[in-house]
Amino acid sequence: TSPLTLLSLGLGIALVATMIYKERNKPFPLIDVSLIKSRSIFPCFTAVGMTQFLVMITVFWAIYFQTILGYTPSKAGNITFIANIPILVAAPLAGICVDRFGPKLPVSIGFTLLFLSITSFAFIVNTATTLQLLLPILFFGMGAPFVLNPSATTLLNAAPVEKRAAASGLLISSRQLSS
């Protein structure tokens, strides 16, 4: 609720909107609005942005584990590390799933796992044991790649060949902005 924070946020949004407005008629725009408006690409940007926003929760896990649950920094780091293990399995599985079924199924699975993870955390937030944390953390680690990988692949495949580099740049920018 800090006025400076709210002013900075509002100014940032206004500057991004102004840049997009100014760039829309340029022959080689920094942000190609036609990519963002595409019916096949926009949902991918949205899915990636929402998931990247959720992934930033992990930044606060170590603080939560230490401050609320009273874990040592070492134990908090080890538990946080566990969330990365499912990514090694989920990323290739998501790719296989996209190849076989298209992007909708893996993205739906990913968002379901993320929802289950966050919901599980909500029920155990103040009283979690290490064992109780494992399921939400594993769901989270499995869910993110099931959204991010298929969305990125679909976005880049849907972009015209001559605009794939711009689409890739926008994808990375949207991830950074969402973070």
Taking a C-beta distance cutoff of 8 angstroms, is the pair 140, 85 a contact? no
User: pLDDT band at 99, cuts 50/70/90?
Assistant: very high
**Average pLDDT value for the chain:** 89
pLDDT digits (tens, 9 = 90+) for 111-142: 999 999 999 888 887 777 888 888 899 999 99
How confident is the model at residue 169, as a pLDDT?
A: 87
φ/ψ (deg, to 5) at 59: -60, -35
Residue percentage of the chain with pLDDT more than 70? 100
**Mean pLDDT confidence for 54-79:** 89
User: pLDDT band at 15, cuts 50/70/90?
Assistant: very high
Largest Cα–Cα separation, the chain: 57
Give the residue, 40 or 4, on which the prediction is more confident.
4
DSSP symbol at 162: G
The whole-angstrom separation of Cα 95 and Cα 97 is 5
